Amino acid sequence: MIYFAFTQELSKKPTFTADGYSKLDVIPGWLGETSLCSAFSCLTLAPNLVARCIPDGQEFDNKYSGIFHFKFWRFGEWIEVIIDDRLPVCSGQPMFSRGKDSNEFWIPLFEKAYAK
């Protein structure tokens, strides 16, 4: 059954990133979207681009508001994309890309922002 869930419904201790950004963290989801996962993995090899695309300070702490900010280079300029943390879920797991650590959510949130 497919439904939408907030990250805090999927994990008792959600974290944006468990131990930084690593190419080994990215796991394809149900549809096997390996080309997008490969692009995310390659991005992690350039820390300066990760810092540009994924602003610091996004966590599930006491300042958590349910929204996340990302930036993408589009037609010669950086655009900001703001999303909420509701994700499509099947069998209790994010339906699309996810992290190796089930408590880490930067990957499905980044993918949602990219889709937007």
Q: pLDDT per residue over 5-18, tens digit each?
A: 888 888 888 888 88
Q: pLDDT per residue over 38-59, tens digit each?
A: 888 888 888 899 999 999 888 8
Q: Would you say 87 and 4 are in contact if contact means Cβ atoms under 8 Å apart?
A: yes
The pair of three-digit structure tokens given for residue 80, joined into one six-digit string: 């900001």
- pLDDT, residue 32, reads 65
Q: Rounded to whole angstroms, what are the CA distances from 52 to 90, 96, 104?
A: 31, 23, 20
Domain ranges of the chain: 2-115
Q: pLDDT per residue over 66-105, tens digit each?
A: 899 999 999 999 999 999 999 988 877 788 888 888 888 9
